[in-house]
Amino acid sequence: MALCLRTSSRSILYYLKSKMGLLSSSSSTLTHQHHQKPPFTAPTAQNLRDPFANFSTKVNLLSTRRFQSTKVEEQWDSLNHAHHNQVLDFPGGKVAFTPEMRFISESPVERVHCYRVLDDNGQVIMSSKFKQVSEEIAVKMYSDMVTLQTMDSVFYEAQRQGRISFYATAIGEEAINIASAAALTIDDLVFPQYREPGVLLWRGFSLQEFANQCFGNKDDYGKGRQMPIHYGSHKHNYFTVAATIATQVPHAVGAAYSLKMDRKKACVITYFGDGGTSEGDFHAALNFAAVMEVPVIFFCRNNGWAISTPTSDQFRSDGVVVKGPAYGVRSIRVDGNDTLAIYTAVHAAREMAISENRPILIEALTYRVGHHSTSDDSTKYRPVDEIEWWRSARDPVARFRKWIESNGWWCSEDESELRMSVRKQMLHAIQVAEKANKPPIAELFTDVYNVPPSNLCEQEKFLRETMKRHPQDYMPDVPV
């Protein structure tokens, strides 16, 4: 292709030069003229002292070499214009050439705007456009946000009391959990990270089921094999949480490709944090989704911290939203503490993903008010007053409450009754889960192979013998 362009250019130049009288009758004459030195007058002493005088001499010299015909000048201008407007028909689309050498800036002059509907006082911003929410849906959204907040508080206390081994809260990110879930349907597949239990709550996962998983008892769907908060539910289309960062992202794209092939009117949503975008899985997934044109929503919870690593140490780009267009993915930045903005954005993203068979990237700006987990003390790496400001001034639950109260859908009596009821239910669920037996030891070795291999059978036998020799090291409620 480049050779064709070069040959074509040479032909054009040869033709124009012949018309302009620049080509001689023989190549030897052309070569002689090409190597002739132009007449040059040696500079005088005065010229050396006066650079402007020397400049005048050069200008006069150049003026004698100019084309005498205006028509010839126009022909040259036409040729240059043709060169400037050439287009390279390259895979992916036509690319225009330019004589300017210009590097793309590493950072925009202005950061990508953040879509918002409710201000910090819970009032709808003038001229904002959003998906209308009925009273029934709005009240359920708020109730589930309060339930999630209460559940986090009770489970966190239980871990501190030594009743469960581990826990991670979603404090400050309740709107992301519930509002995004409300904009989806039960047919949409969810590939979570580990801070989206609210999505499962919205879909009908009971408080007792949450407690069973955290305590790893016989009623836990994971049969006690996973650490707490690694929920999963087949009937709710909620894939089991994996502790490894961002591995769920390419899995979600594969599932979305399956939905596309089956022509199902559903999409896939996968959640991950800002730290997850530093993993290769994130980049491979976006490229895979864009090329295969699959109905998947990439939902990034940019809460400012990947455990103790701030976003300033994660990337130099304008957050995560700008990474989408680089892979050909339509993207939007949303206020992650604005329930209506999240609901509207995910609802629109779902419609586009399904109707147009395209991936969508959503970056939700929020803040992880709680510690990364019960194994973390975030006050060691970020100011306490910063945490408290986000807890009080930017609380998504309080902001949404102000909005439903302004609509006459909620009051203080409803608030007190809800919080008391949820806490009571949570304490009861914990008591039941705590008393239930643990799964049998045999369950550690099932659900992988149809016929267990010999080495796995040997491991099971060795474990049973060890438990019998050292019963004091194992919980008495574990059936052997």
Active site residues: 368, 372, 381
Residue type, 189: L
- CA distance linking residue 426 with residue 242, whole number of Å: 25
- CA distance linking residue 342 with residue 331, whole number of Å: 13
Structural contact between residues 245 and 198, judged by C-beta atoms closer than 8 angstroms? no
What's the burial of 430, exposed, middle or buried (CB within 10 Å: 0-12/13-18/19+)?
Answer: buried
Written as six digits, the tokens of 184 are 């989806």
CA proximity to 359, closest of 439, 285, 442, 467: 285
Q: Which helix (H) or strand (E) holds 28?
A: helix 27-35
Torsion angle (degrees, nearest 10) of CA 123, 129, 135, 140: -90
Written as six digits, the tokens of 395 are 């609380």
- CA distance linking residue 233 with residue 101, whole number of Å: 55
Structural contact between residues 377 and 371, judged by C-beta atoms closer than 8 angstroms? yes
- CA distance linking residue 395 with residue 304, whole number of Å: 16
First to last CA, the chain: 73
Query: What are the residue ranges of helices labelled H in 323-452?
Result: 323-326, 339-356, 384-393, 396-406, 412-435
What is the number of other CB atoms lying within 10 angstroms of the CB of residue 165? 13
- CA distance linking residue 172 with residue 166, whole number of Å: 19
What does 177-244 look like in DSSP terms, one character per residue? HHHHHHTS-TTSEEE--SS-HHHHHHTT--HHHHHHHHHT-TT-TTTT-SPTT---BTTTTBPPP-SS
In the three-class reduction of DSSP (H, G, I as helix; E, B as strand; rest coil), residue 273 is classed as strand
Structural contact between residues 272 and 301, judged by C-beta atoms closer than 8 angstroms? yes
Strands 305-306 and 309-310: antiparallel
Structural contact between residues 141 and 176, judged by C-beta atoms closer than 8 angstroms? no
Side-chain half-sphere CA neighbours of 351 within 13 A: 8
